[in-house]
Chains A and B, each alone.
Chain A
Amino acid sequence: MYTLFIDTHYKNILIYLFQESNLVLKKELIDVDSTSTRTMPAIIDIINNASINIKDINKIAVCIGPGSFTGVRIGVTISKTIAYLLNIPIVTITSIDLIGLNLDKESYVAVKENNGYFLALYNKKILGDIKYLKMSEYEEFKNNNKVIENAEIDDNKLISFINSLDPINCHDVNPLYIKDIEVKK
């Protein structure tokens, strides 16, 4: 049982390959300038280095954001297409979870985006809604609250978090944008 996890929600690309609860390989590309040129080659590297075939993958996990709209769409499009073609289960995780699941107590978790931050209260899961704050609003919030912006990912916690999720229909996997489109406002 191989699971492939893909995260392209902001400037880093994160790919994990794991078997049940054991990490097989992971690849992290930091501050990439072009998610579209780097993501698929990174996935292929992982598959090749593990000496498996893409058809050996039994489950896909994908980070659906929030984050960079285009960045998230790349990971989501690749993931839902692979899940559809291979007819395998797909689960989704948020960028807030990626930080929050490593924390031991209730905290505010913030995910950076070009002009602001996505913010949510977290304790084992997201409590309430994810909000988008512009840079100035966020700075003000941070003056009055402790906010976690980064956490080193605990591989075991991430893998067990993903393993606990229920699969959804691949066609229904879409980015979590949070921010509305300018013209709609």
Chain B
Amino acid sequence: MSPQPVPQVRVVTLKIDGRDVGATEDETILEVARQNGIFIPTLCYLDGLPSIGACRICLCEIKGANKLLPACVTRVQEGMEVTTDSERLTRYRKTIVEMLFAERNHVCAVCVSNGHCELQSMAQKLGITHVHMPYRYPKLTVDATHARFVQDDNRCVLCTRCVRVCDEVEGAHTWDIMGRGIDARVITDLNQAWGDSSSCTGCGKCVHVCPTGALTEKGRSTAEMVKKQQFLQYLMQMREAKQ
């Protein structure tokens, strides 16, 4: 008996930061880079969630392309030459992270996620020592109406991980975005208090995928509020395996 034909996915080779790497054509630059131990900073990206290319921190230079492209959604191509780190990219990444710090009230000293925050560790990794644009200090609210969780708009970076995990993985679609531009913010249901939400299952997935202290568990101390994101890859693997 002849063997079953496998689905046709082409294998390609490309260069990332001068290193020759192999990949399949359905993989993204970020996936291939991570498999090869090449670090590309990311914020809105989370393994297991659909990528949206929104935070613009994983932008890379690609030879021949006139624009910078986000590594999380750009597919690899044969012969591609990718630069993941350069003076220019670092400058842009720093400015973007500074923009996030200036956008809302990220006061690490009084944040329960201090020490376990992806925004904070990103700033440390990029060597940001100060923010050189004016802080905006918007007046934002904290929603503590839920029995077990707290939502703090002051710490939100609008990565929409909560929106995506709730919609795509939990299937509840409790979270969404309201407003436009600088006034955009995440809301539960139709901008009701989280505690009154009829769609929220209380699963807590949103809290654990949140990169900052915008979504936290009630009654936790700073040392305790560690986000556990491993569940997501496990869940997605199990779902795929069942298919």
Whether chains A and B associate is no
- Give residues in B with beta carbon < 8 Å to A: none
